[in-house]
Structure 1
Amino acid sequence: MNNYEFYSVALNNVNLFFGILVGSFLLHYFIFRKQVRSVLDPYFLPTLSSVFCLADVFLLYFTQNITLYVFSNYVFTQLAFILGLYTFNLKILSLKSPVPTLELRKRNINARLVAFYYYSFIYLFFQCLIYLLKGIPLFMESRLETFASGGGAGILGRITDVSSVISIYLFFSIIKLDKFRLTELPKYFILMMIFCTFLLSGSKSSFLIVFNIFWCYIIFAIIKGQDYVSYLRLLKRNIKGILVLSLIVVTFIIYIQSRSVVDDPTSTGLNPILALGLRFVHSGDVYWYAYPNNVYLRIPSDHWFTALFDDTLGLLRLQSWDEMPQAIGITLKNIHHPSDILQGPNARHNIFGLIYYGYSGSIFFSFLIGLTLGFIRNKLPYMLPGNVLGGFIFTYLMCKGAAIDTDPMLTITYFNNLVFIFPFLYFVYLIVMEFFKYNPLVEWSTTKR
């Protein structure tokens, strides 16, 4: 079923669709209200996306466009995912954690300041290099084209992916919120430059990572009993402004893309607000591409290991990128909407599991996906040290791991970046620190990292 056939089904059953959508909102609210406690939680948007996915699938089933076999598989894989998510006990955070003294907050400020400028420089330098080599993704027909043609751009994207998160995390660890100081201007200027690069990425949600990281910083501080009061007060005071800014930025991105992309039905022919709503409906486009008429069976189901860990195998040069299976979303899109543009829906865990692991195997796969996400959210922060490194690892995995049920393959790419790219960047940072430590021209405190 292509996009226009689904639109016809939805418009001919609009009351049924909105009824299912309301029910899906209520169901997700009761299931996830203890897991996702803020709109700034990195998993909020994936949860909202799941609301529309359920509505899309149920509409297809109630209108007899998909079989009971694939419908029941969707239901059981979703249940398995939720069971895995809640396997680790969810701890309710207390806001009565002891607040450190101002002296404790100032400890290691020099090391964190150097780290902030170091990782910010790394990010901005390599991001500008990507623009120079590949162009600006916002003005491309498909953002996937940025790293599709190789030429070393992929490794640049991995570096910017890691360095951007730690740079923003360090910003919140060094900024002073008690009052504005002129000496803080360079830090805010760098943050604004990073924010602008997120807008130029062309992603409608990438700029939100600044607020996601801020939320993760507060959560980690609460868990570790660190200073969080001023940050939490700032967040509560500006949450409405953040939401308004988010809506403005998203509509701006949709407007820009609608002027350059002519084949995307979610970004043309509609005003940006309606296009945004349609984008949420398209959260489940992989289901109407794959389920009706059992189109998913047309995708080769062998090489499941290569399909899941293609990024790891390609990064380590254990297998050529040309030998990797094509992404499921791109294959399905080309079946229904053939074009030379490199784009397609995310292969959500239900579809990926059903294609490569079969009916029963997909249920177990979805459980493992939920288990991994549950570990990251509910167990990992209590195991990590309460320093900047621990906070960054928690924040990075919270932000990037939130996509694991939406796109397992992409999430593994993020995990690889943390495992293989960040240690190299951190090693170079240690060398920089040694330079500052032994350089007599640099004023340095006696406190180490």
Structure 2
Amino acid sequence: MTDYEFIFLLYDNVKLYIIDLLIFSIIFYAISRRYIINLLNPLLVGVIGTVFADTIPLFLFQLGKIDSSIFLYFVLCEISFWLFFMSFYHKNYFNRFGYHISNEHNISKLVFNIFFVFVLSGYLFVFATGGIGLFMENRFDVFADNGYLSLVVLIINLPKTYCTIYLFDRIKTSKCRSILLISLLCLLDLLTGTKSFILPLIGNYFIYKVFFKKQKIKIPTYVYPIILLFPTVTLLMNGMSEGFYSAIGNLSFRFVEYGDGYWMAFPNHVIANIKIDNPIEYIFHPLLSLLHISPHVSRPPIGTLLMYEVRPEMDGVLGGPNARCPITAYALFHYAGVLFSAICGYIASFLAFRINRFLPSGLIGVSIFGSYYSTALVLNADPFSQWQNLIILTAETFALLYILRISGIKIIKNG
């Protein structure tokens, strides 16, 4: 089912869609209210995305567009993921760091200066080599002929997180400079073309206040509409060339579009046409190719393969929907993908609630943990794309902690 076919279906059955959306909103409110803690929690974005995405299979099933077997498979996958996501949850998980760095304040500014230059250089390299995504019709065209540029963007994520959290901590002593540099980091994100450039900033503020300062976040109610205004205005401006009402429609569809992979994959069992000859090699290909164990050849994401199936005229174009966990699991293992979903939920739980036990407290450790924490639920949204990010983040973590150790800086286990 193409996007246009789904839009017509949605237009004719909008009341049913709203009812289904309310059903999943209630379900996920009950599931997540224990660990969301605050509306600024980056996990909330993943939960909201899941609500809109999971509404689609129920909506399509009720209209007879998907059969009962694939719908039951979807339900089992989601139950497996979210049950295992609770595995490592602890009500005091945000205060359970296992180590600390001796006299970290002596090196925090040096680390910031190195990381900030690194981040700035990385962005400038991407813009100079691939172009500025904000001014392109498709921001992914930046990476079309320069696949390694996406690697650069992933590599600078951890340093950027550290820089942002460091600047939050310096606002009291150097307000103007800190706000200026934070604004610069946001501008660089915006220039890449991402519409959610403000979300990492909000997430990092949550990480800073809750995990570093150990404080509850108290934000006046009037601030929340201002926070929502930034991505809303960006999306509206992006679609204003087609008129105001068209821009409003595009903005609304952006939320519905969280489930675009489902309406491409499940109707007519299109997902069965995706053939992955060696699922294990496909999963670990980013790591195996980096280690030169597997040949460094292109492995199109499952979402891209789905787009080619539904819209053959797009063959060769970089794009496609996020292949959410049930979609990826089915493409790799068919109905045995329920087990794959459970594994993804278990890993996501470890990243969100347990991994800080192996990290130091302080700016460096909190920044590392924040990078893992903010992306934990992406394993549900698109596990394949997130796997490469986790490989790079883990390699950076080991490298950073190793450099600190050989530099004579003590990382001490908490008693």
Check if 1:381 corresponds to 2:376: no
Contact 2:302 2:323 in 1 (8 A): yes
Q: Deviations over 1:32-71 (max 9, x none)?
A: 1112222221211111111112211111001000011100
Contact 2:171 2:178 in 1 (8 A): no
1: CA distance between counterparts of 2:51 and 2:259? Answer: 9
Amino acid corresponding to residue 350 of structure 2 in structure 1 = F
2: CA distance between counterparts of 1:39 and 1:448? Answer: 33
Number of residue-to-residue matches in the alignment: 406
Contact 1:147 1:154 in 2 (8 A): yes
Amino acid corresponding to residue 348 of structure 1 in structure 2 = R
2: CA distance between counterparts of 1:329 and 1:207? Answer: 25
Q: Deviations over 1:347-372 (max 9, x none)?
A: 1110111111121x211111111111
Check if 1:205 corresponds to 2:196: yes
Task: Using the TM superposition, give the Cα deviation of residue 429 of structure 1 relative to its aligned residue in structure 2, in angstroms.
Answer: 8.0
2: CA distance between counterparts of 1:110 and 1:17? Answer: 56
Unaligned runs of 5+ in 2: 97-101
Check if 1:396 corresponds to 2:392: no
Partner of 1:249: 230
Matched position secondary structure for 1:204 = coil
Q: Root-mean-square deviation (CA), in Å?
A: 3.0
2: CA distance between counterparts of 1:28 and 1:70? Answer: 21
Partner of 1:333: 307
Q: Give TM-score scaled by structure 2 length.
A: 0.88
Q: Deviations over 1:261-316 (max 9, x none)?
A: xxxxxx98845443222111111110110101111111113221232223223333
Q: Deviations over 1:66-116 (max 9, x none)?
A: 011100000000000111111224315799x9xxxxxxxx96434111211
Matched position secondary structure for 2:297 = helix
Amino acid corresponding to residue 12 of structure 2 in structure 1 = N
1: CA distance between counterparts of 2:289 and 2:389? Answer: 14
Partner of 1:367: 342
Question: Residue 89 and residue 254 in structure 1: after superposition, are their counterparts in 2 closer, same or farther (change >3 A)?
Answer: closer
Question: Residue 268 and residue 129 in structure 1: after superposition, are their counterparts in 2 closer, same or farther (change >3 A)?
Answer: farther
Amino acid corresponding to residue 49 of structure 1 in structure 2 = G
**Which of 361, 379, 383 lines up with 1:408 in the alignment?**
383
Check if 1:160 corresponds to 2:156: yes
Check if 1:175 corresponds to 2:175: no
Amino acid corresponding to residue 208 of structure 1 in structure 2 = L
Contact 1:251 1:273 in 2 (8 A): no
Partner of 2:185: 194
**Which of 223, 233, 239 lines up with 1:258 in the alignment?**
239
Task: Using the TM superposition, give the Cα deviation of residue 240 of structure 1 relative to its aligned residue in structure 2, in angstroms.
Answer: 4.0
Check if 1:148 corresponds to 2:144: yes
Contact 1:87 1:371 in 2 (8 A): yes
Contact 2:276 2:282 in 1 (8 A): no
Partner of 1:56: 56
Higher mean C-alpha displacement, 297-306 vs 361-370 = 297-306
Question: Residue 208 and residue 239 in structure 1: after superposition, are their counterparts in 2 closer, same or farther (change >3 A)?
Answer: farther
Task: Using the TM superposition, give the Cα deviation of residue 27 of structure 1 relative to its aligned residue in structure 2, in angstroms.
Answer: 1.0
Question: Residue 362 and residue 385 in structure 1: after superposition, are their counterparts in 2 closer, same or farther (change >3 A)?
Answer: same
Alignment of 1:6-405 (within 5 A): 6-92=6-92, 108-150=104-146, 152-172=148-168, 174-177=169-172, 181=173, 183-221=174-212, 227-229=213-215, 232=216, 235-237=217-219, 240-241=222-223, 243-258=224-239, 270-324=245-299, 326-337=300-311, 338-339=313-314, 341-359=317-335, 361-405=336-380
Q: Relative CO higher for 1 or 2, CA cutoff 8 Å, sep ≥ 6?
A: 2
Unaligned runs of 5+ in 1: 98-105, 222-226, 261-266, 438-446
Partner of 2:5: 5
Question: Residue 294 and residue 169 in structure 1: after superposition, are their counterparts in 2 closer, same or farther (change >3 A)?
Answer: same
Question: Residue 66 and residue 448 in structure 1: after superposition, are their counterparts in 2 closer, same or farther (change >3 A)?
Answer: closer
2: CA distance between counterparts of 1:238 and 1:313? Answer: 49
Contact 2:325 2:383 in 1 (8 A): yes
Higher mean C-alpha displacement, 302-311 vs 290-299 = 302-311
2: CA distance between counterparts of 1:317 and 1:268? Answer: 50
Question: Residue 268 and residue 347 in structure 1: after superposition, are their counterparts in 2 closer, same or farther (change >3 A)?
Answer: farther
2: CA distance between counterparts of 1:137 and 1:191? Answer: 20
Matched position secondary structure for 2:144 = coil
Matched position secondary structure for 1:60 = helix
Question: Residue 296 and residue 220 in structure 1: after superposition, are their counterparts in 2 closer, same or farther (change >3 A)?
Answer: same
1: CA distance between counterparts of 2:252 and 2:394? Answer: 36
1: CA distance between counterparts of 2:370 and 2:273? Answer: 39
Higher mean C-alpha displacement, 391-400 vs 198-207 = 198-207
Amino acid corresponding to residue 134 of structure 1 in structure 2 = G
Contact 2:289 2:296 in 1 (8 A): yes
Contact 2:162 2:363 in 1 (8 A): no
Question: Residue 22 and residue 379 in structure 1: after superposition, are their counterparts in 2 closer, same or farther (change >3 A)?
Answer: same
Question: Residue 341 and residue 39 in structure 1: after superposition, are their counterparts in 2 closer, same or farther (change >3 A)?
Answer: farther
Q: Deviations over 1:157-211 (max 9, x none)?
A: 2332222112212223x4153xxx5x44333322111011121222222321111
1: CA distance between counterparts of 2:56 and 2:28? Answer: 14
Contact 1:290 1:332 in 2 (8 A): yes
Question: Residue 127 and residue 139 in structure 1: after superposition, are their counterparts in 2 closer, same or farther (change >3 A)?
Answer: same
Contact 1:330 1:345 in 2 (8 A): yes
Matched position secondary structure for 1:35 = helix
Q: Give TM-score scaled by structure 1 length.
A: 0.82
Task: Using the TM superposition, give the Cα deviation of residue 382 of structure 1 relative to its aligned residue in structure 2, in angstroms.
Answer: 3.7
